[in-house]
Amino acid sequence: MKVLAILYNGFKAAKAEPRLLGTVENELGLRAYLESQGHEYIVTSSKEGPDSYGLTDVCSQTDILITTPFHPGYLTKELMAKAKNLKVCVTAGVGSDHVDLNAAVDRKIQVLEVSGSNVVSVAEQVMMSILLLVRNFVPAHEQAISGQWQVSDIARNAFDLEGKVVGTLGAGRIGHRVLQRLVPFNTKELLYFDYKALPEEAEKAVGARRVEDLKEFVSQCDVVTVNAPLHEGTKGLINKDLLQHFKPGAWLVNTARGAICNADDVAAAVKSGQLRGYAGDVWNVQPAPADHPWRSMRNPLGGGNGMTPHYSGTTLDAQQRYAEGTKKILQNYFENKPQDPGNVIVGVGKYESASYGQR
Ligand code: NAD
């Protein structure tokens, strides 16, 4: 079979650090395995423009496509129509919104991902992002490295997380882990908004309360963290209209998908102080252009920007897990064994995951 992987270029870092498995250079560690099984393995970073997918030619003959959310090779309906042999798309990581899932259902192309492979990595990033916003870390760090020392300029916008209301929009694998990690911080209350309730035991263990109306949910939170997949029901969900229902001066953390937020509306809310800050690692376009509004936005007191490139789910620990998980998915496929049900987003001709919207 022909297996095509779209990965990001790691350049010098990938040559020096072989554990950077999710790079073009280190090929998810799959070449020896795939070639020993008689398969052809093509790896490229090309994902944009007329040559996208290296490609259209290669893509038309590909049986199995591997992509990662960190360097999303958008598999559109049009591209899928050209990929006549394509049977399986594997996401090395979590989040398969870069594949047109409805088109995959129609064309009976399976979409599998390594569910759970980086959920701890992201939950830890969410904790870090909440703390760096609430405690006003970034301007403080900027003072430290630029030779300044003016405590009042930082402290005037720094708070404790203790006593605040924190809510997660999406309480699946990551959202639940975030709630678990928030418990020792003695928040005033933990809330969640999800069309699926947490199992009773889990809800009790974290002491979280489910709020069923989104506007009511955001209006009660000092901090909102977004942990839902990107799909028709979440695209642009956090926009000017919804932001008006947030508490004035709330903090927003989004490590789920950039396009869940309207980029201009969020930047305007940070600039006006309506949001005290926004942090995350996911962008509506990746790589983000140099003039993306989220790169330069600051609140009126000079802080409130906790953005990074998309890396929370691609720590070296996570890369090992999603590379191993990708191999396992391929082995199951080649050996005609069933896949772990949690990894199946789209099965043959139907959605198997309930996470990509209520259907
Ligand atoms: P999951 O499937 O375990 O949980 C997602 C939850 O979101 C589910 O409980 C689902 O019911 C809920 N949901 C879906 N639509 C919703 C809506 N409209 N409103 C409220 N809740 C909704 O997924 P997960 O493992 O927790 O991952 C969540 C997302 O995080 C992924 O889909 C991916 O986009 C993102 N992610 C980002 C990174 C990163 O590196 N930044 C890494 C992994 C995952």
**pLDDT tens column, 112-136:** 999 999 999 999 999 999 999 999 9
Any atom of ligand 1 within 6 Å of the Cβ of 99: no
Any atom of ligand 1 within 6 Å of the Cβ of 238: no
- Nearby residues of 265 by Cβ (< 8 Å), 6 or more positions away: 238, 239, 240, 243
For residue 51, pLDDT over 70 is answered with no
Q: What is the mean pLDDT of residues 157-161?
A: 98
Any atom of ligand 1 within 6 Å of the Cβ of 108: no
Q: Which helix (H) or strand (E) element contains residue 218?
A: helix 214-220
d(CA 260, CA 91): 19
User: Residue 166 C-alpha to ligand 1 middle, in angstroms?
Assistant: 17
pLDDT band at 47 (very low <50, low <70, confident <90, very high): confident
Q: What is the pLDDT of residue 73?
A: 87
d(CA 49, CA 119): 31
Percent of the chain with pLDDT strictly greater than 70: 97
User: Residue 2 C-alpha to ligand 1 middle, in angstroms?
Assistant: 30
Residue 74 vs residue 340, higher pLDDT: 340
Count CB atoms within 10 A of the CB of residue 78: 10
pLDDT band at 48 (very low <50, low <70, confident <90, very high): low
ipTM above 0.95, yes or no: yes
Q: What is the pLDDT of residue 37?
A: 97
Any atom of ligand 1 within 6 Å of the Cβ of 234: yes
- Taking only the tens place, the pLDDT of each residue in 219-271 is 999 999 999 999 999 999 999 999 999 999 999 999 999 999 999 999 999 99
User: β-strands 344-347, 305-307: how paired?
Assistant: unpaired
Q: Which helix (H) or strand (E) element contains residue 101?
A: helix 101-107
Rounded to the nearest 5°, which phi and psi values hold at 127? -60, -45
Q: What is the pLDDT of residue 358?
A: 87
Catalytic residue status for 286: yes
Q: What is the mean pLDDT of residues 279-290?
A: 96
Q: What is the pLDDT of residue 66?
A: 97
For a substitution probing ligand 1, which of 94, 111, 224, 261 has the most ligand atoms within 8 Å of its CB? 94
Average pLDDT of the chain is 96
Count CB atoms within 10 A of the CB of residue 49: 7
Q: What is the pLDDT of residue 53?
A: 54
Catalytic residue status for 231: no
Out of 120-124, 284-288, 310-314, which region has the weakest mean confidence (pLDDT)?
284-288
d(CA 169, CA 162): 20
Any atom of ligand 1 within 6 Å of the Cβ of 170: yes
For residue 354, pLDDT over 70 is answered with yes
d(CA 156, CA 314): 34
Chain centroid, CA 270 distance in Å: 21
For residue 59, pLDDT over 90 is answered with no
- Taking only the tens place, the pLDDT of each residue in 190-231 is 999 999 999 999 999 999 999 999 999 999 999 999 999 999
The HSE-up count of residue 339 (CA atoms within 13 Å, CB side) is: 24
Contact 278, 270 (CB under 8 A): yes
Catalytic residue status for 310: yes
Catalytic residue status for 284: no
| C-alpha pair distances (Å), 353 with each of 23, 73, 112, 210, 294 | 28, 21, 10, 21, 31
Contact 318, 121 (CB under 8 A): yes
Out of 57-66, 108-117, 178-187, 321-330, which region has the weakest mean confidence (pLDDT)?
57-66
Q: What is the mean pLDDT of residues 14-18?
A: 98
| C-alpha pair distances (Å), 256 with each of 95, 123, 172, 246, 327 | 8, 10, 12, 19, 24
User: Which of 276, 310, 321, 343 is flagged as catalytic?
Assistant: 310
